[in-house]
Structure 1
Amino acid sequence: MTASGLGCGPHYGGPMTHDVALGPILDDLRTLVEVESPSGDPVALAASADVVADLLERRLGGLAVLVDGPAGPHVHWSGGGEPRVLVLGHHDTVFPAGTLARRPFAVAEGKITGPGVFDMLGGLVQAIHAVALLDDRSGVEILVTADEENGSVTSRALLEERALACGTVLVMEGAADGGDLKVGRKGCGTFEVTVTGRAAHAGLEPEAGVNALVEAAHQVLAIAALNRPEVGTTVTPTVLHSGGQSNVVPDAATVVVDVRVETADEKDRVEAAFAALVPLHPEAALTVAGSVNRPPMTPETSTDLFALAASLEPGIRGVSVGGGSDGNFTAALGVPTLDGLGAVGGGAHADTEHVLVDTVVGRVRLVAGLVRAIVG
């Protein structure tokens, strides 16, 4: 199922390296960017999935299958034959609908800008053009999910299934600084601690209430004490909601916490500590939800793949980063996984998001070389 009658927008002339032309890559990236795809908007993501499927079929042939889900459709393309490598990406972006009007797609002063160009529509387009370089595409699969930015709740089972079937995963998330590949990622998750107290008049009888905001403050201090930066663990309270009126003792509060860990042992420690939280006030109550849902991606899962990449592009480096991706899931299964193969640029999730024009063709050639070596 694909969209029909989709225009490519203006053609950007550019250099060609062998059979890799910059212009069509920019055309395709414009097409994707101009169909906004905010996470959590199934209607917008359905339109985006149609565009992705159409692009896959036009550039690669075959059939791109839409896999429906409550978060929006995922898009799966296969070159046929025995599966050997999964090229993994996502078409959802963090930017709300309407961002494009304020920050339209543009190419100027050596940079490509627009919502989602770096995370990760640029990498997605580069992957498609890389596979298009192959005369024989058998053994290659491309999976483009719709909910990576929101935790991959509806796509995790599918991407894990295809990763196990293929045996090797190349993740097209944006590169680390300077174009470095990502060989390790922290495990990450979100916890939500809800405090239930009792309301009362803040002036007449505050002592009759149980102040959920005060209790939440105690819990924030206890949660922050779980930090162990010396071993790579960060536990960071990020959002607090409580109260509605200035003269009412609040009867409820919610604390949201971001957690990042480098090891499975730290994952277990932090999750156990959240489960063991108890209220300081004897009449307050706590409920805790959440987990470290993306396990750590450890460097040993990418050792051989990184060596292959380094043989194709001498001098390229591999680094470990704090952010998570779907590569966390595939690496945790023991499937060799190399991440950060997408666009080179920066500013993910910000108005400064950009891709460096002069890196695009080289990145396409690197991914094509990796895929060719793996399936060949």
Structure 2
Amino acid sequence: MPDLLADTEEMVRCESPSTDPAALARSVDVVARVGTRRLGVEPERLGIHLRWRLGDGPHRVLLLGHHDTVWPLGSLATHPYTVDGGVMRGPGCFDMKAGLALAFRIAAGRSGVTLLVTGDEELGSPGSRALVEEEARAADAALVLEASAPGGALKTERKGVSVYDVEVTGRAAHAGLEPERGHNATVELAHQVLAIEALADPVLGTTVTPTLMSAGTARNTVSAKGSVAVDVRVRTAAEQERVDAGMRALRPVLYGTRVDVVGGANRPPLAASASAALFTRAARIASELGHPPVAGVAVGGGSDGNLTAGVGTPTLDGLGAVGGGAHADDEHVLVDELVPRAVLLSALLDELLAVSTKPASTAGSPRP
């Protein structure tokens, strides 16, 4: 426990917002130092990403995590690192620096493990996706040390994620003198937002959510430009394809306006079938250890586990710290759950290193 707390504190106290290159450079140094201290070997430095290959021979299990967070610089001043009453608090402690501390602890002294820590997961892994997929293809199983679901449940299914920007172009005109000469991008954008929202299918769990929106340049000017960001979450690849076709089919309603759609699929779904065998194994091990029953849940948020499952690698997610409040003011870790989690992970990792888990039919299968 003292080591887990010390390692987590050291990483939490080095703020690492995904959008700040200087902060990420400092963070990657700290994470490398903590990991080297526990693992006894230096990592490969791949920019803001770190990779440890432990032992000789094939590396059959991929441990996966990230050190970037959603918290801006200065968050420690308002959300300081504390441990009080068995609860750890601090920006990024739950998502997912305590998970990194667990990964270092369970990987130490084991051969056949690749430990990959990326620095852009919260942005959708734009620079690390190929690296994650490459490592997953070479592994029999991927264990993702992301924060747990409520109550310590493991994440056995994740929705796929698509992201779009819809840009509308019209023509400016004076709103008082001659509004009829304009083509109003704001009004066109309103039409598009309603069409976008109609692509959702609650029965299938498909959400299509317009989020950030902007239009116009001045109160007394017919707007010539407007845009809206769109967040899509789907349970199946078929739904991801259907929504994509619908987004590409958007057409202007008002004369004189133009609609352009950019973006697309960011992460494929992590289907329940990708995690079923690993979850069954983890639940059995927990029972043998005398731990409370382990639950598995489907969640809407994406992670790099979507990428590992997408290339055909059995994947179990949510294996990190138990707590709650990811990305929120009440982010916290339940300290007393850290050691039991480490014990479960150690036993699971040892079993996976002894027995191959990837069926031959899925090895190397392409990402949908």
Equivalent pair of 1:295/1:332 in contact (CA under 8 Å): yes
Structure 1, 172-181 or 40-49: larger mean CA deviation: 40-49
Instruction: Determine if the alignment matches structure 1 residue 184 to structure 2 residue 163.
Output: no
Residue equivalent to 2:214: 241
Report deviation, 1:358. 1.3
Report deviation, 1:248. 0.7
Structure 1 unmatched runs, 5+: 1-21
Q: Deviations over 1:241-277 (max 9, x none)?
A: 1122110111100111110000011001000000010
Residue equivalent to 1:46: 25
Residue equivalent to 1:228: 201
Structure 2 unmatched runs, 5+: 288-292, 355-368
Equivalent pair of 1:123/1:342 in contact (CA under 8 Å): yes
Structure 1, 254-263 or 159-168: larger mean CA deviation: 159-168
Q: Deviations over 1:43-90 (max 9, x none)?
A: 11111111111111110112211102xxxx101011122111000000
Alignment equivalent of 1:355, drawn from 313, 333, 356: 333
Q: Which residues of 2 match residues 1-12 of structure 1 at below 5 A?
A: none
The RMSD of aligned alpha carbons is 0.9
Alignment equivalent of 1:86, drawn from 41, 57, 62: 62
Residue equivalent to 2:168: 195
Alignment equivalent of 2:88, drawn from 100, 107, 112: 112
Report deviation, 1:196. 0.4
Equivalent pair of 1:53/1:65 in contact (CA under 8 Å): no
Moved over 3 A (4+): none
TM-score (norm 2): 0.93
- Structure 1: distance between partners of 2:124 and 2:182: 37
TM-score (norm 1): 0.91
- Structure 1: distance between partners of 2:107 and 2:118: 18
Q: Which residues of 2 match residues 1-376 of structure 1 at below 5 A?
A: 22-68=1-47, 73-81=48-56, 82-132=58-108, 135=109, 137-314=110-287, 315-376=293-354
Amino acid aligned to 1:74: H
Report deviation, 1:327. 0.4
Report deviation, 1:307. 1.1
Amino acid aligned to 2:45: L
Equivalent pair of 2:183/2:255 in contact (CA under 8 Å): no
Instruction: Tell me the number of residue pairs that the alignment of Structure 1 and Structure 2 aligns.
Output: 348
Q: Deviations over 1:103-122 (max 9, x none)?
A: 11000122100000111111
- Structure 1: distance between partners of 2:62 and 2:21: 25
Equivalent pair of 1:242/1:254 in contact (CA under 8 Å): yes
Equivalent pair of 1:234/1:260 in contact (CA under 8 Å): yes
Equivalent pair of 2:162/2:240 in contact (CA under 8 Å): no
Report deviation, 1:302. 1.1
- Structure 2: distance between partners of 1:119 and 1:229: 28
Report deviation, 1:212. 0.3
Equivalent pair of 2:183/2:222 in contact (CA under 8 Å): yes
